[in-house]
Amino acid sequence: MRRGELIGRQAEMGQIVTALAAARSGHGGALFVTGEPGVGKTRLGAEAVAAAASADMVTAQGRAGTVGPVVPYRPVVEALLQLARAGLLPDPDELGRYGPVLARLLTDTRGAGEDATSHIMVGETVLRLIAVVGRRRGCLLVLDDLHEADAATLAVVEYLLDHIGQQPAVLLFIAGREPCAATELAARARQRGAAAVVDLSPLDRPDVHLLVATELGIAPGEVGSELVHRAVTCGAGIPFVVKELVHDRTGRVPAAVADSVIRRAGALGPLGVEFLRTAALFGRRFPLPVLHHALGREHSELSAILRAGVASYLIVPDVASTQWYAFRYEWAAQALLDDLGPGERAGYARRAARALADLHPGLPGAWCAHAAELHGHAGDTGEAARLYCRAAGRATAEGAVERAVELLTRAHRLADPDAAPDLFATVLERLLDAVACSARFDMAPALAADLEAPGVAHGVPAERRAGLHARLAGIATLRGRPAEALRHLDTARSLLGGRPAPARAAPVDLAAAHVELSGCAPDRLATAAAFARRAAETAERGGRPAVACEALLLLGRLAWDRDEPAAAARFMRARAIAHVHRLPVLRVSAEVYLASITARQGGGTARVEQAGALARRMGAWPVAQDAGFVLALDRIQRCEFEAARDRIREGAGEAARLGMGRALSMWRLAEAVRCAHQGRRAEMQEALEALAPLIDAAPGLRSMAYGPARGFCSLLEEHHEAAEQEFAQALAYDAENPATAEFGRHGVILLLGVLAGRMGRRHHADVAEASVSATRWNRQFVGLAHAVLLGREGRPGEATAAASAALEAAEPYPMARHLCLRLVARSAYQDGWGAPVDWLREAEEHFHGAGLPSVAGACRALLRGMGAPVRQRRAGTEQVPPDLRRFGITVREFEVARLLAERIGNKDIAGRLHISPRTVEKHVASLLQKTGHPNRAAFATAARGLATG
C-alpha cells in the first residue's frame, strides 16, 4: 500500500459508499462519524469526499471553529462558500423565497439569526440548495467538529436530518464521542432512524503494523519488531499517535501528541490542569483519595474534574478499584509530566508525598514504591532510594523477583556513591542478590564497574566490599565464567584481611565453595563442602539467613549421592530457615531438591513440576532451570523422548538468552544423553560437540558425557568393548574431578563389572552403601548385579527373586529395563535362574520396535544359542500382535493362525494363501508347539479373536 492510503476502515467506508450510491439514485441519508481524538474521523470524512468526487458527485465541506468568537452556522457557511468558489451555487431566483436567506448567510450570518424562525429557514434553504446542486449527480455535505458547533448550527443539522430522505444527497456529520449536544443529537437521530452512527474504534495490531509500513514506505515484513511493538503498545491503535511515533526518533512523547494532550488538559481549567499534573506523578494509575487530600479541594469540584477528564478522553475509571483512576493512554501521563518544569514538579511531588504519608502511615504494601517515586520527582533521591529498597524487600518476600529487580534498579539510579556510600552499598548488595535470583546477568558488568567508583572505594569498608565481590563471583559461576569468578574471589579474600568478622566472611566462603566446584581437583567436592559448612555455621551465628540457606542447599547437593538422609535434612533445614525469614526463592529451591529426592526414589515428578512452575512465576530462573533439568532427565529415562526434547529445547533457549553458561552446559549434556538413549550416535556426537566449549567451566560433566551418553549408546549398538572403555573413562574423569551427579558408577558400571567378572561381592557391598544406589533408576542395575552373583553362588531361587525385584523397579524405564534383560540373560541361562528366554524375546521385541537392530539381533542370536525358536523379521511383522510375537510367531504363521481361528481346513488355507497343504501342516505344527496348545481345536478356541481382529 502507498503512504496515505486509508487502513483498517474498510467496513466504515463500505457503509459510506453504499449511502453515496443510494443518494445518486435519489434516496438521501445521513451518517454521524464519532470517535475519540486522533482516531481518524476527519480522515474518514476526507475519504468520503474523495469517493464522492470520483463518482462525479458534488461535494461541500465545513468545520466548526475552535478559535475566536462563536460564529453562527459557521460549518454550514464554510460549505456554501466552497460551493460558491467552485461556481456551483444556483441563481438566487431558483431558490425562490429562500434566495434572500442564502444571500444573508453568505454576507451577514448575524442577520440571518434574528428571528425565531431563522433556523428552520436556514435549514430549508440548505436543503433546497443541495437538492438543486445534486439533482443530476448527487451531493455530499460534510460538517466536521460538530462537538464544537454552536446551537444554531445544530438546530439546522436537526432540520436537515428530518428532511434529507427525499433528496439526492448524503449528510456526513463528524463529532467527538464526548458527551455534548452533538452526540445527544446523533443518539436521538439513530434512535428514530434518521441517521446511522459510524463509531470508529482504535486500529488492531495487524492494521497498526500495516500503517507503520505505509508510513515508512516499506513492506510490512521489513518493519522492525521493536518499532511495531512500540507503535502498538504506545500508539494504542490511534492512527494520529501511531504516525507521530513512526516519525519521532527521540523516544519521548511526540511533540504533536503532547500538544494535543496539553490542549485538552487546558480545557479543564486551572484546577483540572493541577489535578492531572499531580496524577501524572503516580504514573498511569493514580489514587483519588491521595489527590483529594493533596489538592485540598471540595469533593464536588474534583467530581466535576473527573467527569470532564473522562469526557476529554484523558482519564478513565480504574476497573480494579473505585478509589483509583487511570490515564487512558500512557503517553498522556508522560506528556503532562514532561510539561512540568523542575520546580513545579518538585512542588507537586512533595505535596503528594505528604498526602500519601498522612493517609497511609508507615507506607504499607505498594504505597512504599509510590512514595519512593514521588520523592524521586521531588529531588529527594536519598529518601527515594531507601524507600525503593524497602519496597524491593517486600517484593522479594512475596516472591516477586522481577519486581524487586525493577525497584532496586530505580534505587541504584538514584543512590549517590559519593554523597551516601553506605546507602549505595546497601542498594548494590540487594541488587546483586536480585540479579543472581532472576538471572538478569546483563546488568552484572555495569554493577561490577560500580565497585571501582571513588565513593565506593573510599567510603565503603573493605569487608563490605569483599561481600560485593563475593556476590559477583557467584554470578560469574552461574554464567559459566570460572576465571572471572576466581578473580572476584581473590579480590574478596584480599579485602577481608587476616581475621574478618564471621558474618562478613560467610558470603566469601560460600563463593569459594561455588568456585571450587568449577575447578579441577580430585578433592574439589570435599574442599567445597568444607567452605560451605563453614559458611553455613558462621552465617547462622552472624544473622545471615540467606547465606546460611544457600550454604545448606549446596551441602545437601554435595551429599545426596552418598548420604541421602543427610542431604534431605539439610534441604529441610534450609527450607525452614527460608520460611521463617521470608525468603521464598530459597524456600522453593529447597523444595525443588527435596522433590528431586522423592522423584529419584520413584515417587513421581509432580512435586518437581509444581516447584519449577512456582519458580517460573516468581521469575527465579536459576531455580526453574534446575527443576527443568531434573524433569528432562526423568523423561529421558522413561523413554518420553519427544517430551524430553521439547523441555531441553525450551530450557537451553532460556539459558542461552539469559547468559546462564552453567545451565546451558547441563542442557547440552541432557541432549547428548537423550540421543544416546535412542542409539542415535551422530546426533549424540553433535550435542557433545556443542557441549565441548562449555565443559571447562563444568568439569564434573565429563563423567556424565562418557557414562549416560557415550557408554549407554555403545551398549545399544552392541559395542561392549567400547562401552567398557567409555565407562572406564568416566571413572577416570571422576577420580580427577569428582562429579556431583550420578554417571553410572552406582548402577550400570557395577552390573557390567559383575557380568565381566571384574567385580564381586565386595564391590557390590561398597556400591550398595551409597544412598544413590537405592534410587529407582539404579535399583534395576544393582539388583540384577546381586542376582548374577547369587546365581554364580548356586542360589538360583534367591537370584530369581532378586531379579524380579530389580525388574519391578525398572518398570518405568523401558529402554534400560530391556537392556538389562539382554545383558543378564546369558548369565541367567548358564546358572539356571530367572526366565532368560522370555526376557530375550521381550527385549528383542522392544529393540526391534525402537529401531535398534544391533541389540535386537544380539537378542535373537542369544535365543538361537539357547535353542529357542527365533522369529523372523520380515515385512509385516508389526501386524503380528505383541503377545504372539513374544512366542516367536512369524508373519506367515500369523496368517495361518487367523484362518485356523476360523476353523478352516489345511487344504482351504493352502488355497487362500497360495501355498502347499504340506507347508500349511508345518506352520500349524509350529503354531501348536510355540503356543503350547495340544491340538488345532484348542488353538482355534483360544485364538478366536484373531478371526475378527
Residue 342 lies in a domain: yes
What pLDDT does residue 508 have? Answer: 95
Nearest-angstrom CA–CA distance, 900 and 793: 47
What pLDDT does residue 945 have? Answer: 63
Nearest-angstrom CA–CA distance, 76 and 314: 30
What pLDDT does residue 68 have? Answer: 67
Of the ranges 14-18, 535-539, 867-871, which one carries the lowest mean pLDDT score? Answer: 867-871
Number of domains observed in the structure of the chain: 7
Torsion of CA 512, 518, 521, 526, to 10 degrees: 50
Residue 622's nearest CA partner among 592, 577, 646, 599 is 592
Q: Are residues 22 and 125 in the same domain?
A: yes
At residue 878 the predicted structure's pLDDT band, cuts being 50, 70 and 90, is low
At residue 877 the predicted structure's pLDDT band, cuts being 50, 70 and 90, is low
At residue 569 the predicted structure's pLDDT band, cuts being 50, 70 and 90, is very high
Q: Are residues 145 and 243 in the same domain?
A: no
Residue 476 lies in a domain: no
At residue 927 the predicted structure's pLDDT band, cuts being 50, 70 and 90, is confident
What pLDDT does residue 113 have? Answer: 45
Q: Are residues 82 and 223 in the same domain?
A: no
Q: Are residues 273 and 369 in the same domain?
A: yes
What pLDDT does residue 114 have? Answer: 46
368 three-class SS: helix
pLDDT of 885 strictly over 80: no
Q: What is the pLDDT of residues 741-776, one digit of tens each?
A: 888 999 999 999 999 999 999 999 999 888 888 899
Of the ranges 14-28, 38-52, 934-948, which one carries the lowest mean pLDDT score? Answer: 934-948
Residue 565 lies in a domain: yes
H or E element in which residue 59 lies: strand 58-63
Residue 668's nearest CA partner among 619, 620, 702 is 702
Point out the domain boundary residue: 676, 701, 732.
732
Paired with 325 in beta bridges are 286, 317
What pLDDT does residue 895 have? Answer: 82
CB distance 413 to 421 below 8 Å: no
Q: State how far the alpha carbon of 823 is from the alpha carbons of 202, 442, 936, in Å.
A: 69, 50, 37
CB distance 407 to 395 below 8 Å: yes
Residues near 321 by beta carbon (within 8 Å), at least 6 away in sequence: none
pLDDT of 911 strictly over 80: no
The sign one gets for the Cα dihedral 662, 664, 668, 670 is positive
Q: Are residues 75 and 193 in the same domain?
A: yes
Q: Are residues 687 and 815 in the same domain?
A: no
| Cβ neighbours, 10 Å, residue 341 | 8
pLDDT of 479 strictly over 50: yes
CB distance 281 to 370 below 8 Å: no
Grid cell, residue 690, equals: 556443542
**Mutual angle of helices 269-280 and 288-295, in 10-degree steps:** 130
Q: What is the pLDDT of residues 299-315, one digit of tens each?
A: 899 999 999 999 888 99
The pLDDT of 371-395, averaged and rounded, is 96
526 three-class SS: helix
Residues near 782 by beta carbon (within 8 Å), at least 6 away in sequence: 746, 747, 750, 751, 764, 767, 768, 773, 806
Range of the domain at 565: 544-614
Residue 774 lies in a domain: yes
Nearest-angstrom CA–CA distance, 519 and 699: 7
Q: Are residues 225 and 368 in the same domain?
A: no
Q: What percentage of residues in the chain have a pLDDT greater than 90?
A: 68
Residue 77's nearest CA partner among 47, 122, 117 is 122
Nearest-angstrom CA–CA distance, 441 and 437: 10
The pLDDT of 622-640, averaged and rounded, is 95
pLDDT of 949 strictly over 60: no
What pLDDT does residue 887 have? Answer: 74
pLDDT of 336 strictly over 90: yes
Give the domain CATH number at 896: 1.10.10.10
At residue 66 the predicted structure's pLDDT band, cuts being 50, 70 and 90, is low
Q: What is the pLDDT of residues 147-205, one digit of tens each?
A: 888 899 999 999 999 999 889 999 999 998 888 888 899 999 999 999 999 999 999 99
At residue 69 the predicted structure's pLDDT band, cuts being 50, 70 and 90, is confident
pLDDT of 117 strictly over 60: no
CA angle (721, 727, 733) in 5-degree steps: 135
Q: What is the pLDDT of residues 656-710, one digit of tens each?
A: 999 999 999 999 999 999 999 999 999 999 999 999 998 888 888 889 999 999 9
Q: Tell me the whole-structure pTM to 2 decimals.
A: 0.77
Q: What is the pLDDT of residues 426-465, one digit of tens each?
A: 999 999 999 999 999 999 999 999 998 888 888 999 999 9
Residue 389's nearest CA partner among 353, 352, 425 is 425
What pLDDT does residue 681 have? Answer: 93
Q: Are residues 243 and 254 in the same domain?
A: no
Residue 479 lies in a domain: no
Point out the domain boundary residue: 376, 398, 422.
376
Q: Are residues 721 and 703 in the same domain?
A: yes
Residue 531 lies in a domain: no
Give Rg (Cα) of the chain: 41
Point out the domain boundary residue: 316, 349, 376.
376
What pLDDT does residue 871 have? Answer: 74
| Cβ neighbours, 10 Å, residue 703 | 27
At residue 109 the predicted structure's pLDDT band, cuts being 50, 70 and 90, is very low
Q: Are residues 193 and 219 in the same domain?
A: no
Residue 381 lies in a domain: no
Of the ranges 449-453, 613-617, 832-836, 843-847, which one carries the lowest mean pLDDT score? Answer: 449-453
Residue 34 exposure: Cα atoms within 13 Å on the Cβ side: 20
The amino acid sitting at 916 is: S
Residue 896 lies in a domain: yes
Residue 593's nearest CA partner among 631, 549, 550, 627 is 627
Q: Are residues 941 and 915 in the same domain?
A: yes
Q: Are residues 586 and 662 in the same domain?
A: no
